[in-house]
Amino acid sequence: MLNTRNMDMLQGSFWDKLIIFALPLALTGVFQQLFNAADVAVLGQFVGKNAMAAVGNNISVIGILVNLFMGLSLGSNVVIARFIGAKKPEKVGTAVQTSFALALITGVLLLSFGEAMAGPIIKWLAVPAEVESMAETYLRVYLLGLPFIGVYNFEAAILRARGDTKTPLMALIVASVVNITLDLAFVMLGWSIMGVALATVLATGVSAFILFWALTHSQDILRLQFQGFTFNKRLLRDIVAIGLPAGVQGMVFSFSNILIQAAVNSLGPDAMAASAAAFAVEVNVYCVLNAFAQATTTFVSQNYGAGNLARCFQITRVGMALDIAFTVAMGTLVIVFARPLLGLFNADETVVELGIIRFWFIVAPAFLQVFIDVLSGALRGYGFSLPPALLALVGICGVRIAWLYTLFPASPTYGTLMACYPVSWLLTGIFIGILYRYCRGHIKLIRV
């Protein structure tokens, strides 16, 4: 399977290869989000609005953990892609082994920390009393799957470094079918919210195992071998130096969403259910947006390793244009079919109307986030990972916190709350655009 999924990123046209790389990656993200969407939909249809709201309260918390894994794994993606571009197969193998070990260690540590903090987190979110117990149950069971989530994301990042986005997609399709099937079965057994969380854990384990089998049976440079296993501290530092700031940037987005979720909770169960349903739809637009950003990172990293800066700059421009086009197209579809899409999760008219309001403030202007993700992705491909993360901290988290404590209290409506998203994207995009122009003038080739 793996031998048929090599992609030459160093020669020939690349706009078509960016699309071929990004679309399976976007679909992978969609199926990954389908896990939570299936939980929300099954609970909304068969259990009730409170159970649905309980899952919705956990989405931002889960997003922080998943974004940390995705960011760290992006460090592996950049390092391995750079070695591939520089034609250093022996370093590729060592980086693969180091990445796998890092995934396991991080997954277990976060599982332990998460279980210890689950109760305080639910309290901090100010979850209403009628859904508090269910929200904590879902979170505690979901956390059991963190080692699987970590391993899957690192395995997928390893495969992406060589251009393979299809194998992770196949694994997620299988896992999504398993998740939906188990969701329905466990709810019918009366396991309710605990059942859907357990279904997600088991399905995530399936996806991680499929990629593990693929890597251990590969016949090329990405093969994961345990004989002579090496944990290279220098490569670990390189992976963490690139991946941790990227993870922090993603976590900042999710952390600000936690603060916003607390404000949503203050508006009542209808607003909570609407946010859960709308997020389950709108996150798929972000999957497309982020896929082109990750494609830009991988293509830039390989060509940077090969010493071709001019091609790196061209890739960034084309990646930006393609990302805007696909994001606008996806956003238009969501706006046009907003009512039936939201109705899949909950038919309550108040919930649907609030969900539509959220779409207009988040989905319609989503193209603004393209500038943040693509330019940050390109900078990470060169090894500049910390500066865009710091700007995201100020521009995203800072603006949204200020909004929550100034404008929202003055006009505590759902629309006022949602307006903080496009404003923070616009300002942060400007900051990162300036940073990119500065860094581009100071990029130097390195010896890999």
Please name the residues in contact with 126: beta carbons below 8 A apart, sequence gap of 6 or more.
Answer: 262, 265, 266
pLDDT at 3: 40
Which residues in the chain come in under a pLDDT of 70?
A: 1-6, 36, 445-448
Return the pLDDT at 312: 93
> What pLDDT, on the 0 to 100 scale, is given for residue 448?
60
Q: What one-character-per-residue DSSP string does 28-54 give?
A: HHHHHHHHHHHHHHHHHHHT-HHHHHH
Q: Which of 408, 436, 273, 429 is nearest to 365 (CA)?
A: 429
Per-residue pLDDT, 65: 83
The answer to whether 330 and 387 are in contact (CB under 8 A) is no
Residue 5's pLDDT is 59
Question: How far apart are the C-alpha atoms of 71 and 368, rounded to whole Å?
Answer: 21
Residue 422 Cα distances to 128, 401, 415, 417, 430, angstroms: 28, 14, 12, 11, 12
Task: Residue 1: name the closest of 202, 302, 298, 222 by CA.
Answer: 222
Q: Please state, in angstroms and rounded to a whole number, the distance separating the CA atoms of residues 83 and 98.
A: 14
Q: Which residues neighbour 207 within 8 Å (Cβ) at sequence distance 6 or greater?
A: 148, 152, 171, 172, 174, 175
Cα–Cα distance between 157 and 153 in angstroms, integer? 6
Instruction: Give the number of other CB atoms < 10 A from CB of residue 237.
Output: 11
Q: What is the pLDDT of residue 1?
A: 38
Nearest to 143 by CA among 107, 174, 100: 107
Listed in sequence order, the residues at least 6 apart from 129 whose beta carbon sits closer than 8 Å to its beta carbon are: none
Contacts of 50 (CB under 8 A, 6+ apart): 130, 131, 134, 269
Q: What region does 223 belong to: left with phi over 0, alpha with psi -120 to 50, or beta?
A: beta
Quote the pLDDT of residue 131: 83
- CA-nearest of 324, 295, 296 to 429 is 324
pLDDT at position 361 is 96
SS3 406: coil
pLDDT at res. 218: 85
Instruction: Give the pair of three-digit tokens for residue 255.
Output: 């952390």
Kindly state the tokens that stand for 19: 């699309």
Rounded Cα–Cα distance for residues 28 and 10 (Å):
24
